[in-house]
Amino acid sequence: MTASERAAEVNAYLDELAQQRRLSPHTVSNYRHDLEALCALIADLPAGDGGGGGSFGTIQTPHIRRFVAQLHSRGLGGRSLGRALSAWRGFYRWLGRRGGATHNPVDSVRPPKSPRALPKALSPDEASRLLAGAGENLLAIRDQAMFELFYSSGLRLAELAALDISCLEELLAGEVRVLGKRSKLRIVPVGSKAREAVSAWIAPRRLLAAADEAALFVGQRGRRLGVRMIQLRLARRGLLQGLPARVHPHMLRHSFASHVLQSSGDLRAVQEMLGHASIASTQVYTHLDFQHLATVYDQAHPRAKRKAD
């Protein structure tokens, strides 16, 4: 099997993921990166060891373990390797259904464990400072509406970018429907500050948006604002407000989850609002909440305070 034939099989698999399973372009792009890495690793094998002109079906579990070790030595961590193995595993299942492989060499391979980093979140004061920096020009009014929505409703970047003007009536009434991962629809509440900011954006949007544009948030050319531009505008706002860390959309999502959990303690409600399929994904915010409680304890408990020198 030539390199071009391997690439053709990868492309056929990715086309199926995109068209039939309707995975997001971002997910398909990640799978492509991981499968291209697999193709490169196979091509680097000696010709007598399944490499060179070998097919995917010649690869055995020891090869996969060797590939993981190679990637790990290049600096890939446990999470990145886990994602790569997941992509390879799914690809081999697909090959098996098509007769391209007699077994799945990835099934018994697990990535090395790596410490789970806590998501970075702003403090309530930092979030207030970020959102207090609104300007009065058209783009600043738009940005304020976007950033308030991120923090108010815990939206993902792609979810916010995909919002259409058709959601406006529902949004101003206090909720918005978004299509999350795996095309899962959920309804999330929208707070009063976010509703006010979106309401203020309606008139400027009419001045900017092309006549046939359905997007709620548009750029200077009148078309739907891309995710990269949203990221850049938020990072710029954070710098202008003097925040210590680079602010990105997922940080506002983390801040939303952490602050709601600190106030309510309702993990299930936060899970629903974030659209997590598993409660385990939401439980990471209990660690953030514990950090907050530990700080309060250190400051307030008489036995926790350091004695003055």
Q: Which residues are catalytic?
A: 156, 181, 250, 253, 276, 285
pTM, whole model, 2 decimals? 0.57
The domain 124-298 belongs to what CATH superfamily?
Intergrase catalytic core (1.10.443.10)
CATH 1.10.443.10 in the chain: give the residue spans.
124-298
CATH 1.10.150 in the chain: give the residue spans.
3-97
CATH says 3-97 is which class? mainly alpha
- Are 167 and 216 spatial neighbours (Cβ–Cβ below 8 Å)? yes
Strand partners, 187: 177
Compute the Cα dihedral for 111, 117, 118, 119 and give only its sign: negative
pLDDT tens-digit series, residues 205-250:
999 999 999 999 999 999 999 999 999 999 999 999 988 778 999 8
Q: State the pLDDT at residue 171.
A: 93
* Pairwise CA distance, residues 19 & 17, whole Å: 6
DSSP string, 57-69: GG--HHHHHHHHH
Q: Which parts of the chain have pLDDT scores under 50?
A: 288-290, 292-294, 296-297, 303, 307-309
